[in-house]
């Protein structure tokens, strides 16, 4: 934990401000120290840490002390997140502790609107529409100043333009109010309507409207500050954020009942409320504050506001993507028909969709024919952007009258000629598919795979003997398939790979399936982009790993560690160990040579359960006996080289070589295949997704140990538990009734024939 990432905050709470001998003091205080992350600094975060030391209720004022100043002239009001960030910047630059003082403000429910208005903003009233623009703008942007009375109380007051020009003497006498509660010398008298004293029979209704208006005003003030109404704080002049409000824009028709006199009667005599633009989004605000029901001009403006909010508050916002990919040559005709009906409201036939798809594919094919003439330009661009690469262009030697690009096929011959001593393996799944054509018994499958995954020749002979007990001829035919290419018992050591199938190559072929239909440059560009993105993703993924071993290898290691608990170890005092697994299996382990008679450790490079038991017996470190190829550092070295970006075709260098022609397109008879040919005994591709491994969850109590039918909260549990018994009884009763009815009918017909 880096201390520079946290802001130390000392809370002063439980006291009150007192003014004595020209100085401001905070008496009867208690202090508590907290550490807040700088990345999460905000007003709700500070209030949350404050709640750890004291109960947060009522109306609170939070003030922070500017470094190097006294309480009389250094207090700053914490209004919003911007004020908190400003405080954090001052404290982090000076390396000091942030001093925050908590002031409790008592609210009297009997206070009138004039007294409540001094605590924060007043809403703009409908009668002020006749005022000038400057007066309206001044009311929308009130100035809050911090004053200290004779009793030492901090009193925020809203100042008019006259007060701003000539500051008020804070030590002078306070302004007296008349008995009716109207302030004669207050700055709010310019735009505040006096409260009428109702003497008619509607006094009770007017009093209810006033209480309702007070509650709404308190909620609106809390909504502006982004807190609950019970935790609303007051606004100071230093913390106000100016916004450029367009007064000419009427905004969305939202209603506001902040004042009891915001009601009027229409021409029909009904009581209605005035329209307000309070819930309108303002794009020029430094920090956007969102609320439920806020109106935006368009979805683009809403997205821009979210992006700006995320950048300002250092939050990561994820936008869902539109997964429809209409530029896909394998787009099915049925999907085309549905999309045309949904987007264009036209119901077209399947044959018309087929013709349209054929026209589009033919046009796309015609546009890509020119790619073969630029293969030499593409070669120069790859050599320029990625120095050290090898790019070879081969022409068809059988065509002499013109230069035609030559297709390239498999690499078996090239691998055998260039690297003849390298180990060649075959996929055991394909070997088994061919072997199973003659030996179709399903019970033989497991025994065949036991032979393929045998790590040593002794174990291979043992599993082959068990297979020969069921099918002797099948065991002989299995030997004729050259098991040194598909069984682990015959694999060469040093590669640290125990794979017996070809899943990695099959996965890569499946990922480039769509790209294989493209011309040569488009195909290579699609594959290059996939590889470039894969390298970048793997580098980013590896940066987040912890430890020394790759996560997938560590999962295998954990399984071997669990199996090592069932092994019994004998140590000779040096490097030799006898490890017994279960009752009849015993193996020898040599830690000095890093070998095990099971041969799995040498084959994979990962300690088996026998080797792990010996390592723990000798009190050695397990990481020292794991192959370095499984470490995170080697994984990073594998993806150290990144592919460099390539320019567009308009910026490629022009080659002096003669432009080759595209190879002839041979259209095969029949419909092209889109799926691989399955084996005769292989199961067909299912239309439904398998639910194997999915944990069912009860919809009543959300537990995974049962379903809703057997849940204790199910009121019909008893009636449904033995429902199958009643269903069986009903089915038997109906069968017996049908049998009796048929017998009775036949008896009746017999009687009629007799008569």
pLDDT one-digit tens code per residue, 271-298: 455 444 446 677 777 777 787 777 777 7
Query: What are the Cα distances from residue 556, in Å, to 507, 541, 630?
Result: 21, 19, 11
Helix (H) or strand (E) holding 20: strand 16-20
**Domain end position, chosen among 520, 542, 564:** 542
Least confidently predicted of 248-252, 278-282, 378-382, 472-476 = 248-252
- Cβ(625)–Cβ(615) under 8 Å? yes
In a domain, 265, yes or no: no
The pLDDT value given to residue 687: 63
d(CA 357, CA 167): 78
The pLDDT value given to residue 152: 44
pLDDT one-digit tens code per residue, 608-622: 999 999 999 999 999
Strand, helix or coil for residue 86: helix
Q: Are residues 533 and 570 in the same domain?
A: no
The arithmetic mean of pLDDT across residues 20-48, rounded, is 83
The pLDDT value given to residue 729: 77
pLDDT one-digit tens code per residue, 148-160: 444 444 444 444 3
In a domain, 302, yes or no: no
The arithmetic mean of pLDDT across residues 633-639, rounded, is 93
Beta bridge partners of 158: 144
Q: What is the CATH number of the domain that holds 52?
A: 3.10.20.90
d(CA 385, CA 380): 9
pLDDT band with cut points at 50, 70 and 90 for residue 247:
very low
pLDDT one-digit tens code per residue, 584-593: 789 999 999 9
Q: Is the pLDDT of residue 192 over 90?
A: no
Beta bridge partners of 568: 580
pLDDT: which is higher, 120 or 620: 620
d(CA 422, CA 491): 12
Q: Are residues 26 and 90 in the same domain?
A: yes
Domain with 523 in it: 411-542
pLDDT one-digit tens code per residue, 69-113: 888 888 888 888 888 888 888 887 766 788 898 887 765 544 444
pLDDT: which is higher, 669 or 559: 559
DSSP 329-344: TT--HHHHHHHHHHHS
In a domain, 563, yes or no: yes
d(CA 96, CA 80): 21
In a domain, 137, yes or no: no
In a domain, 573, yes or no: yes
Helix (H) or strand (E) holding 45: helix 43-50
Q: Are residues 493 and 535 in the same domain?
A: yes
Q: Are residues 538 and 416 in the same domain?
A: yes
Q: Which two tokens stand for residue 680?
A: 């005769």
d(CA 26, CA 18): 6
Dihedral sign from CA coordinates of 635, 636, 638, 642: positive
**Domain end position, chosen among 542, 568, 589:** 542
Residues in CB range of 298: below 8 A, 6 or more apart? none
The pLDDT value given to residue 19: 76
In a domain, 327, yes or no: no
Query: How many other CB atoms sit within 10 Å of the CB of residue 26?
Result: 21
- Strands 567-571 and 98-105 turn out to be unpaired
Q: Is the pLDDT of residue 242 over 60?
A: no
Q: Which residue has the tokens 């260098």?
A: 653
Helix-, strand-, coil-residue percentages of the chain, each rounded to 5: 45, 10, 45
Q: Is the pLDDT of residue 345 over 50?
A: yes
- Cβ(663)–Cβ(653) under 8 Å? no
The pLDDT value given to residue 277: 46
pLDDT: which is higher, 285 or 663: 663
The pLDDT value given to residue 266: 52
In a domain, 510, yes or no: yes
Q: Are residues 88 and 16 in the same domain?
A: yes
In percent, how much of the chain has pLDDT > 70?
70
Q: Is the pLDDT of residue 182 over 70?
A: no
Q: Are residues 480 and 506 in the same domain?
A: yes
pLDDT one-digit tens code per residue, 504-514: 888 888 888 88
In a domain, 453, yes or no: yes
pLDDT band with cut points at 50, 70 and 90 for residue 213:
confident
pLDDT band with cut points at 50, 70 and 90 for residue 168:
very low
Q: Is the pLDDT of residue 316 over 70?
A: yes
The pLDDT value given to residue 611: 94
Q: Are residues 521 and 623 in the same domain?
A: no
Q: Which of 280, 285, 284, 314 is nearest to 297 (CA)?
A: 280
The arithmetic mean of pLDDT across residues 317-337, rounded, is 68
Query: What are the Cα distances from residue 537, in Å, to 272, 505, 540, 542?
Result: 60, 20, 5, 9
Crossing angle of helices 444-452 and 428-436, in 10° steps, is 150
pTM: 0.47
**Domain end position, chosen among 104, 128, 153:** 104
Q: Which two tokens stand for residue 164?
A: 């701003």
Residues in CB range of 645: below 8 A, 6 or more apart? 385, 532
In percent, how much of the chain has pLDDT > 90?
25
Crossing angle of helices 428-436 and 472-479, in 10° steps, is 140
d(CA 274, CA 293): 18
Q: What is the total count of domains within the chain?
A: 4
Q: What is the total residue count of the chain?
A: 755
Q: Are residues 415 and 538 in the same domain?
A: yes
pLDDT band with cut points at 50, 70 and 90 for residue 124:
very low
Mean pLDDT of the residues in the chain = 75
Q: Are residues 22 and 40 in the same domain?
A: yes
Q: Are residues 418 and 524 in the same domain?
A: yes
Q: Are residues 532 and 459 in the same domain?
A: yes
pLDDT one-digit tens code per residue, 130-150: 333 434 333 433 333 344 444
Q: Are residues 426 and 351 in the same domain?
A: no
């Amino acid at each position: 934990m880096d201390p520079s990432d946290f802001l130390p905050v000392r809370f002063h709470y439980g006291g009150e401000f007192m003014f004595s001998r020209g100085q401001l003091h905070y008496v009867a205080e208690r202090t508590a120290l907290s550490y807040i992350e700088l990345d999460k600094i905000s007003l709700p975060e500070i209030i949350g840490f404050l709640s750890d030391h004291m109960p947060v209720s009522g109306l609170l004022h939070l003030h922070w002390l500017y470094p190097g100043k006294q309480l009389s002239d250094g207090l700053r009001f914490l209004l919003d997140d911007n004020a908190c960030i400003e405080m954090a910047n001052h404290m982090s630059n000076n390396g000091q502790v942030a001093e925050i003082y908590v002031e409790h403000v008592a609210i009297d429910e009997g206070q009138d609107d004039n007294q409540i208005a001094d605590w924060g903003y007043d809403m703009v009233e409908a009668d002020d529409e006749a005022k000038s623009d400057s007066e309206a703008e001044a009311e929308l942007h009130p100035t809050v100043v911090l004053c200290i009375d004779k009793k030492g109380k901090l009193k925020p007051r809203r100042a008019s333009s006259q007060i701003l020009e000539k500051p008020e003497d804070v030590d002078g006498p306070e302004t007296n109010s008349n008995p009716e509660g109207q302030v004669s010398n207050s700055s709010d008298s310019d735009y505040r309507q006096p409260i009428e004293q109702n003497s008619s029979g509607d006094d009770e209704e007017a009093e209810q409207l006033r209480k309702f208006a007070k509650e709404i005003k308190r909620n609106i003030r809390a909504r502006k500050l982004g807190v609950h109404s019970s935790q609303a704080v007051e606004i100071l002049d230093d913390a106000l954020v100016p916004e450029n409000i367009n007064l000419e824009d009427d905004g969305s028709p939202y209603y506001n009942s902040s004042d009891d006199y915001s009601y009027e009667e229409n021409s029909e005599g009904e009581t209605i409320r005035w329209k307000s633009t309070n819930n309108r989004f303002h794009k020029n605000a430094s920090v956007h504050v969102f609320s439920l029901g806020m109106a935006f001009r368009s979805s683009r403006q809403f997205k821009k506001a979210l992006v700006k909010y995320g950048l300002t508050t250092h939050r990561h916002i994820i936008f869902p993507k539109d997964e429809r990919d209409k530029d896909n040559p394998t787009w099915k005709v049925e999907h085309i028909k549905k999309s045309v009906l949904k987007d264009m409201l036209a119901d077209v036939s399947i044959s018309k969709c087929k013709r349209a798809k054929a026209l589009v594919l033919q046009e796309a094919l015609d546009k890509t024919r020119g790619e073969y003439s630029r293969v030499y330009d593409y070669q120069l661009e790859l050599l320029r952007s990625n120095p050290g690469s090898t790019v070879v262009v081969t022409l068809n030697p059988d065509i002499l009258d013109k230069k035609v690009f030559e297709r390239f096929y498999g690499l078996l011959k090239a691998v055998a000629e260039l690297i003849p001593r390298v180990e060649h393996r075959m996929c055991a799944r394909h070997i088994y598919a061919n072997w199973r054509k003659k030996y179709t018994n399903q019970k033989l499958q497991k025994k065949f795979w036991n032979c393929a995954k045998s790590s040593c020749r002794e174990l291979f002979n043992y599993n082959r003997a068990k297979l020969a007990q069921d099918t002797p001829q099948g065991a002989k035919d299995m030997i004729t398939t050259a098991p040194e290419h598909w069984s682990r018992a015959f694999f060469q050591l040093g590669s640290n790979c125990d794979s017996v199938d070809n899943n990695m190559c099959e996965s890569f072929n499946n990922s480039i399936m769509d790209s294989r239909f493209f011309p040569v440059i488009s195909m290579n560009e699609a594959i290059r982009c996939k590889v470039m993105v894969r390298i970048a993703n793997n580098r980013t993924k590896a940066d987040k790993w912890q430890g020394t071993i790759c996560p997938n290898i560590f999962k295998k290691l954990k399984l071997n560690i669990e199996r090592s608990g069932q092994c019994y170890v004998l140590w000779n005092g040096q490097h030799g160990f006898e490890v017994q697994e279960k009752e009849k299996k015993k193996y020898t382990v040599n830690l000095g040579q890093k070998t095990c008679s099971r041969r799995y450790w040498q084959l994979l490079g990962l300690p088996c359960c026998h080797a792990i038991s010996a390592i723990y017996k000798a009190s050695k470190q397990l990481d020292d006996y794991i192959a370095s190829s499984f470490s995170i550092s080697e994984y990073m070295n594998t993806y150290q080289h990144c592919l460099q970006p390539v320019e567009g075709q308009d910026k490629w260098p022009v080659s002096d070589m003669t432009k080759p022609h595209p190879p002839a397109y041979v259209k095969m008879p029949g419909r092209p295949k889109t799926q691989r040919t399955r084996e005769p005994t292989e199961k067909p591709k299912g239309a439904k997704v398998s639910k194997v491994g999915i944990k069912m969850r009860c919809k009543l109590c959300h537990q995974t140990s049962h379903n809703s039918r057997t849940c204790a909260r199910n009121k019909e549990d008893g009636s449904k538990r033995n429902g199958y018994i009643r269903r069986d009884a009903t089915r038997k009763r109906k069968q017996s009734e049908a049998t009796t009815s048929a017998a009775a009918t036949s008896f009746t017909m017999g009687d009629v024939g007799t008569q």
